[in-house]
Amino acid sequence: MTEASLSTQWAVCGIAAAAARFVPVPLLDDVVRRRAAQVAVLRTLRAHGRTHPAERYEALWDDPEGASRGLRGRLGSVPRRLLLFPVRKYTAVFGAVRGVPTDVARVVLLARSVERRLERGELASPDRLEDEARALRHAVDAALSGMDLRLLTAGLADALSQGRGLTTAAVAFVRRRLGDDDLEASVPADGVLADGAAQVTEVLRRPEVAALLERFDAEVDDRLARR
C-alpha cells in the first residue's frame, strides 16, 4: 500500500517534469524530466529499504534505448548554476498546456510501477539489478505507448487547471529542487504546488481512474512475464 506522503512526492515530481516545458534555458527540458523521474524513483526505492547506489538503477529513469546518450550525458553534468535561471510570473494555465498531463502521468506511473515490483521483492538482488531495472522500464514504456490513457490525462488536465499560479510555482520548484546535487532528499512542497499535488493524487483515487490503473498494471506485468 502506497503511503500518502510517497504518492504526494510522485505527484510533485510529475509536476516538476511537466514544468520542463516552461524552463527558459535551451536544451534543459530533457535534463529536468530525467531528474524529476530520478527523484521519484529514488524516493520510492529508499522508502522500501533499497540502499544500492543510485547508478545501479539508472535504467529506470534514463533513455532505455541509449539514443542521444552522449548529449544527455553532457547535459546531465550541467553545473547547478545553469539551473538557477530567473523565474518570471507565468500566465499560462498549467494543466491546459499541451503535453503537461502526459508528462505528469509518465512520472507517476513509472514510480508507481517501481513500487509494485518492490512489493514483490524485486530490484533487490545485486546480480540482477540492472537487468530488472531495464526490463521494468521497457515494460512501462510499452504500456504507456500501447494503452489509451486519455481518461487519466483528461482528469489530470482538468485538476491541474484549477489552481492559479501553479506554472510559476512549478518552475520555481524545478530551479530550487532539481538544481540541488542531493537528488535523494525528500521533495517537500507547500502552497500552490502542494495543492496541485493533492489534485493529482485525488484524480488517481477516482474509481474509473483506479480501474484504468489496474489495467495498466496488468499490461506491465504481462510484458514483464513475456520478456
- The per-residue pLDDT for range 31-78, each reduced to its tens digit, is 889 989 999 999 999 999 999 999 999 999 987 655 445 445 544 455
Mark out the alpha helices in 64-99 (DSSP H runs): 69-76
The pTM for the full model equals: 0.90
Tell whether the model's pLDDT for residue 142 goes beyond 60: yes
Domain of 13, in residue numbers: 4-225
102: its cell numbers:
502526459
- Residue partners of 202: CB distance under 8 A and separation at least 6: 159
Which of 37, 22, 152, 163 shows the shortest CA–CA distance to 85? 22
Domains held by the chain: number:
1
**pLDDT for the residue 67:** 47
DSSP three-state, residue 160:
coil
